[in-house]
Amino acid sequence: MREAVLLGFLLGMCHGAANAASVVPNFTRGQITSETTTRTEVTEIIHQIEYTTGTSYTVTGTNINIPENPGPGVNYTMITPGEPFQFSETYMGPGIATETKIERTTITDSFTTSLSVFTQ
């Protein structure tokens, strides 16, 4: 019964006819120009450190007597004394092996123009 009363109330409120008004544009032609400028700036910072945990020992040379087990503190002798020779000894202990620092900024500028033309 309650639903019938509510339905009757709603029908009574909506009994008027709906009128639609037509919309007529008042232009014949036109155009729109849009310009957009954008700047993007990106800064990158790279800091890389490489470590060694062991030791490295290298000996090279010419006219040098290098024993089977070279190492720090070993005495090296010339094969032919008085002749030319070359000798290189490198020791690298634990610690920082290399360090790289890079800082770069990239800037990108863009400019966009849009043109829309319309007629009726």
pLDDT in tens, 32-89: 999 999 999 999 999 999 999 998 889 999 999 998 888 888 888 999 999 999 999 9
Q: What is the C-alpha R_g of the chain? A: 44
11 within a domain of the structure (yes/no): no
Alpha helices in the chain (DSSP H): 2-13
3 within a domain of the structure (yes/no): no
Phi, psi of 56 (to 5 degrees): -135, 135
- pLDDT above 90 covers what percent of the chain? 56
Q: Residue 79 belongs to what domain range?
A: 53-120
44 within a domain of the structure (yes/no): no
Counted domains in the chain? 1
Q: How far apart are CA 117 and CA 27, in angstroms?
A: 13
64 within a domain of the structure (yes/no): yes
pLDDT at position 39 is 97
Q: Are 56 and 91 in contact (CB under 8 A)?
A: yes
45 within a domain of the structure (yes/no): no
